[in-house]
Chain A
Amino acid sequence: GQQVMQIPQYQHVQEGEDFTTYCNSSTTLSNIQWYKQRPGGHPVFLIQLVKSGEVKKQKRLTFQFGEAKKNSSLHITATQTTDVGTYFCAGVSGTYKYIFGTGTRLKVLA
């Protein structure tokens, strides 16, 4: 079945450093979404990418969808303590069933 892996599983950064999480799918995706889950909270939708090679920005966050639509990345510039949480990608192909990635837990040290 379809699998969506994320790396790294954990990342600790000093406040002000950059952070990137990578998402890789075993199948070609129709689109990909990104979510953030704060500790003790629920996943919150951040963005959706649809086109091959698409790049979108939200303030310090940059999202990219690979040319082959099998991978994606989320880059945070100059992390802040409010960026702490687990970042999930979620990809869909074919059956309109989103498969969530394994998640990357980010800790930001002040």
Chain B
Amino acid sequence: DTAVSQTPKYLVTQMGNDKSIKCEQNLGHDTMYWYKQDSKKFLKIMFSYNNKELIINETVPNRFSPKSPDKAHLNLHINSLELGDSAVYFCASNQQQGTYGYTFGSGTRLTVV
């Protein structure tokens, strides 16, 4: 039983393309997140949704747009991909923001060439 699942696991694409990453959780959690982990392993929060409502929107280029059709899903669409977007993107969820530990998905390694 996968708790937080992301697809695809790997994504290799050319600069300028548009791509999406999907995330689903079956834990019944209220809050979902997108984190970016760069080559130095720094984990930076990008977005957070609580029950389909955007609650955290960090300083992220407009090319990144999250969408939460329901509280179990949080997708990330990226327009006009750039070389600097290459990273591992993690989806995560928890029961209540600021109170409980996160459950992370296995990550999507995005490589922009």
Contact = CB atoms under 8 A, between A and B. Distances in A.
Interface string A27-57: 0001101010100011111011000000000
Contact of A100 (B43, B106, B107): B43
A97 B102 contact: no
A42 B43 contact: no
- Choose among A99, A100, A103 the residue with the greatest number of B CB atoms under 10 Å from its CB: A100
Give the dominant DSSP class at A's interface: strand
A43 B99 CA distance: 17
A47 B106 CA distance: 19
Contacts, number: 53
Contact of B90 (A43, A96, A102, A105): A43
Contact of B104 (A30, A44, A92): A44
- Choose among A43, A47, A88, A99 the residue with the greatest number of B CB atoms under 10 Å from its CB: A43
A37 B43 CA distance: 11
A52 B44 CA distance: 26
**Range of interface residues on B (Cβ < 8 Å):** 20 to 34
Contact of B98 (A30, A86, A88): A30
Contacts of A99: 45
Nearest to A41: B106
B41 A92 contact: no
23 contacts: A30-B98, A31-B99, A37-B41, A42-B104, A42-B106, A43-B90, A43-B104, A44-B104, A45-B101, A47-B101, A48-B100, A48-B101, A95-B56, A96-B98, A96-B99, A97-B97, A98-B45, A98-B98, A100-B35, A100-B42, A100-B43, A103-B42, A103-B43
The 10 A-B residue pairs whose C-beta atoms are closest, nearest first, are A96-B98, A45-B101, A100-B43, A42-B104, A96-B97, A43-B104, A92-B98, A103-B41, A42-B107, A42-B106
